[in-house]
C-alpha cells in the first residue's frame, strides 16, 4: 500500500494552478491532469468514480452496515493558488525536525525561521515537508487530497472496517472562488460533508468570512507633461488616492480573529488608465455589507472630485459565512470534535479567516464544515506541512465514518 507521504509527493508534482482571468471550467486544463489521475486511482482501488464535464471527480463507496446511516462526503480541491508558481515543485523533507531554522535551498539565504514562524517549534521531532523556496508547496489542498485518498485506500483494503455510505469529491478552482459553482449537489448525494482544507493540526471550522471582490477601473487624462497644468489626470495617482480613502487599520496585516479587512491585491496601469482590485472580507454579514458600502462611497467621492465616470466599480459577492447553515446540524461538529480527540489531537474550533468550498455547499443544502489538512503558510514559498499532521487527518476521516456507522 502506498504511504501518505509518497502519495502527497506525487500529487504536488502535478502543476494545478488556477487562473481567475480564465472563463473556462476548470479555469486551467492542467488541473484535469490530477483530476484524471485521481479518477484512475479511485477506480484502481475498486471505487466507483467518474470525472464530469466541469472537472469534478465524484466517487461513492456503498455502506457495509445495516440501518439508516446518512451518506457522508469528504471533499478537497486540487488547484493551487495563483499567488505563487506551482510548477516543478521541489520538496524538502526534514526528518526528526530539531527546532532550528530551515534553509530553503533553492534560494540562497532564504530560511523558514522560527522567529517568524514559531509554529514550527510545536512540531519538533516530526517530519517536516517544505518548499525549496522557488515555488509554493501545494499542501493547500493536496494534503487534503492525499489524506482522503489514504483513508479510501484503508477502507478498500480493510473490509472489516464498518462504515455507512461514503461520498468523495475533488474539485477545481477553489482558490479563485469558483470551486463548486457547477458542483452537482444532488448527484453527489450526501447528507453531510466535510472539506479537508484547514490549516494547523486540530483545526475545526464552521465559520468563515463573507467575501466579495471589488475591481475598479480609473480613467485618467494623459497630456504632454510639459503642458499638463489643469489638464492631466494621472490615473495612477487617482488609484493611490482611492486606496488612501480606505481605513488603513482594516488591512489584513492589521487584523485578526473575527476582524474583517479590505485587501488590495493588484494595481496596474498608466497615466491614461489604471485598474485596482480588492477582496473584501468580514465574518459579520452586517459589517460585510458596510464594507461594501464604504468601497462604493470611495468610488463616488473620486467621481465627485474628478468627474463622473472617472472610477467604475464592479463589486461581486463570492461566498457567505456558513455558520447559519451548519449550526442547525451541530451534531456533525460534535462528531468531528470527538473524531479529532480520538486521533490524539486537541480540537481547535475557530473561525476561518478565509473561505472553503464548504461555505458555498452549505448554502446549497449540504452542511459542510472544514477540518484541518495540516499545512501552514499557504499560497507562498514558506508553505510547509508536518507528515504526522496529514496522518492524523486521515485517521480523523476514518473516525468520523466509524462514528456515523455506530449511530453517533
**What does 296-359 look like in DSSP terms, one character per residue?**
HHHHHHHHHHH-TTSEEEEEEEEE--THHHHGGGTHHHHHHHHHHHHTT---EE---SS--HHH
Q: What is the rounded CA–CA span in Å between residue 390 and residue 201?
A: 8
DSSP state of 71: P
Residue 394: alpha-carbon gap to chain centroid: 18
Is 370 exposed, middle or buried, given 0-12, 13-18 or 19+ CB atoms closer than 10 A?
buried
| CA distances in angstroms from 206 to 117, 209, 280, 333, listed in the order given | 25, 10, 19, 8
Question: Quick one: which of 43, 68, 63 has its CA closest to 161?
Answer: 63
**293 in helix, strand or coil?**
helix
- Residue identified by cell 488616492 is 241
CB within 8 A of 191, min separation 6: which ones? 70, 71, 72
Q: Is 79 a catalytic residue?
A: yes
Q: Which of 79, 132, 140, 282 is catalytic?
A: 79
Q: What is the rounded CA–CA span in Å between residue 8 and residue 392?
A: 14
Task: Give the long-range contacts of residues 286-289, CB within 8 A, separation 24 or more.
Answer: 287/260, 288/209, 288/210, 288/212, 288/260
Q: Is 2 a catalytic residue?
A: no
Q: Which of 174, 203, 207, 357 is catalytic?
A: 174
Active-site residues, by number, are 79, 174
Amino acid at each position: 500500500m502506498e504511504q501518505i507521504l509518497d502519495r502527497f509527493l506525487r500529487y504536488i508534482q502535478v502543476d494545478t494552478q488556477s487562473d481567475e482571468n480564465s472563463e473556462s471550467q476548470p479555469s486551467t486544463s492542467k488541473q484535469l491532469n490530477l483530476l484524471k489521475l485521481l479518477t484512475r486511482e479511485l477506480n484502481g482501488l475498486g471505487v466507483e468514480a467518474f470525472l464530469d464535464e466541469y472537472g469534478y471527480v465524484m466517487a461513492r463507496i456503498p455502506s457495509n452496515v445495516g440501518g439508516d446511516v446518512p451518506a457522508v462526503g469528504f471533499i478537497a480541491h486540487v488547484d493551487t493558488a495563483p499567488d505563487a508558481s506551482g510548477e516543478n515543485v521541489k520538496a524538502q523533507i526534514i526528518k526528526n525536525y530539531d527546532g532550528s531554522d530551515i534553509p530553503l535551498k533553492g534560494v540562497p539565504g532564504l530560511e523558514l525561521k522560527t522567529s517568524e514562524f514559531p509554529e514550527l517549534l510545536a512540531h519538533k521531532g516530526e517530519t517536516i515537508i517544505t518548499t525549496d523556496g522557488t515555488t509554493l508547496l501545494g499542501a493547500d489542498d493536496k494534503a487534503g487530497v492525499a489524506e482522503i485518498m489514504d483513508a479510501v485506500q484503508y477502507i478498500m483494503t480493510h473490509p472489516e472496517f464498518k462504515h455507512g455510505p461514503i461520498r468523495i469529491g475533488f474539485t477545481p478552482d477553489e482558490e479563485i472562488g469558483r470551486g463548486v459553482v457547477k458542483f452537482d449537489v444532488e448527484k453527489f448525494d450526501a447528507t453531510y460533508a466535510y472539506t479537508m482544507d484547514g490549516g494547523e493540526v486540530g483545526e475545526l471550522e464552521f465559520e468563515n468570512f463573507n467575501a466579495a471582490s471589488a475591481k475598479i477601473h480609473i480613467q485618467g487624462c494623459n497630456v504632454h507633461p510639459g503642458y499638463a497644468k489643469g489638464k492631466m489626470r494621472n490615473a495612477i495617482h487617482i488609484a493611490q488616492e482611492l486606496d488612501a480613502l480606505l481605513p488603513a487599520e482594516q488591512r489584513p496585516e492589521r487584523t485578526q480573529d473575527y476582524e474583517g479587512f479590505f485587501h488590495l491585491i493588484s494595481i496596474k496601469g498608466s497615466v491614461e488608465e489604471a485598474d485596482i482590485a480588492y477582496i473584501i472580507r468580514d465574518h459579520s454579514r452586517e459589517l460585510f455589507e458596510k464594507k461594501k458600502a464604504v468601497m462604493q462611497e470611495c468610488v463616488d467621492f473620486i467621481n465627485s472630485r474628478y468627474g463622473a465616470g472617472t472610477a467604475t466599480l464592479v463589486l461581486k459577492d463570492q461566498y457567505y459565512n456558513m455558520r447559519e447553515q451548519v449550526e442547525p446540524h451541530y451534531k456533525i461538529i460534535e462528531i468531528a470534535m470527538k473524531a479529532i480527540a480520538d486521533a490524539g489531537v486537541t480540537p481547535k474550533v475557530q473561525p476561518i479567516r478565509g473561505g472553503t468550498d464548504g461555505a458555498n455547499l452549505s448554502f446549497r443544502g449540504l452542511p459542510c464544515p472544514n477540518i484541518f489538512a495540516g499545512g501552514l503558510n499557504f499560497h507562498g514559498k514558506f508553505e510547509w506541512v508536518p507528515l504526522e499532521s496529514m496522518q492524523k487527518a486521515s485517521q480523523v476521516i476514518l473516525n468520523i465514518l466509524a462514528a456515523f456507522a455506530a449511530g453517533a
